[in-house]
Structure 1
Amino acid sequence: MNETAKNAAQSEADDKAYARLEKDLTAVKNDIADLSQQISDAVTALGVIAQSQARRGLRNARANVDSLMSDASDRAGAVANAAQDAASSVGDTLADVIDERPVATLAFALGLGFLIGVTWRR
């Protein structure tokens, strides 16, 4: 009987150890599930932050492009106005020269026409 009592006590101790091990294993599984959920939440939050920053960067890039286009348009307008003023100035100067020296202007035009004709034939 002594041996039977020992076996019964050992079996009861093994059952308690198994129950404790099973309880610990369940706790570890629950902790892993909680950790997985926390990681998933963190990744989702990072995704939201990254998306927000990307949108902000896109808005800034669009604003910069709009600003650059506006500046380029203003500069192109200024260049066009300067070219128009220069052409007008040259035209006014030529008109003044023609009015002041009509014979010299005619001789110059004939000479220029002759040079263009000679060059064209070659």
Structure 2
Amino acid sequence: MSSDDEGAVKNVMDKATYERLQKDVESVKGEISALTAQLSDALNTFTGSAQKQARKTYKQARASVDSVVDDATKKGSAAFEAAQDAAATIEDTLEDAIVQRPIAAIGLAIGLGFLIGVTWRR
């Protein structure tokens, strides 16, 4: 073969190799695009699932807090009512004692006043 023939064969082979490499590069670009789309879809799905789980957890926590607050309110109301009842009972008992024994009640009041006065002086 002459050097011109060799050069022509080399150019044809180089051109075929170049075209094959160009097709391979285009194929890889297409695969990268497809992979990018798949990753984007997977990320969107994961993000959606995470948002749903976060909302669910928030709703559960809020329901728990609301339940605890309701229970505390009920218990506080019950304790307040019990204290009011006890105060009313003590008031009624003292009133009955004062009405039944007025002199003893006055003596008790004077004695308590004296004890409080002595205690405060110290």
TM bin, normalised by shorter chain, reads 0.7 to 0.9
Seq. identity, %: 47
Extract unaligned runs of 5+ from structure 2: none
Q: Distance in 1 between matches of 2:121 and 2:25?
A: 103
Q: Supply the RMSD in Å over aligned alpha carbons.
A: 1.8
User: d(CA) in 1 for partners of 2:57 and 2:82?
Assistant: 37
Structure-1-length-normalised TM-score: 0.86
Greater CA drift, 83-92 or 68-77: 83-92
Q: In structure 1, what is the Cα distance between the partners aligned to 2:117 and 2:67?
A: 51
1:28-107 map, 5 Å: 28-107=28-107
Cα distance in structure 2, aligned partners of 1:2 and 1:121: 133
Match of 1:114 in 2: 114
Aligned residues: 122
1:105 and 1:58 map into 2 onto residues whose CA distance is 61
1:119 Cα deviation after fit: 4.6
Partner of 2:23: 23
Amino acid at match of 2:75: R
Query: Which sections of structure 1, spanning at least 5 residues, go unmatched?
Result: none
State the distance in 1 between where 2:56 and 2:75 align.
28
What is the deviation of 1:93? 1.9
Once the two structures are TM-superposed, the CA of residue 118 in structure 1 deviates from its matched residue by 4.3
Q: Which moved more, 1:22-31 or 1:88-97?
A: 88-97
Deviation of residue 120 (structure 1)?
A: 5.0
**Structure 2 CA distance, aligned partners of 1:69 and 1:80?**
16
Q: What is the rounded CA distance, in whole Å, between the counterparts of 1:119 and 1:10 in structure 2?
A: 120
- Aligned letter for 2:61? A
Distance of 1:6 and 1:120 partners within structure 2:
124
What amino acid is the match of 1:69? V
Q: State the shift of 1:7 in Å.
A: 2.1
Deviations 1:49-77 (A, max 9, x none): 11111111221122112111111110011
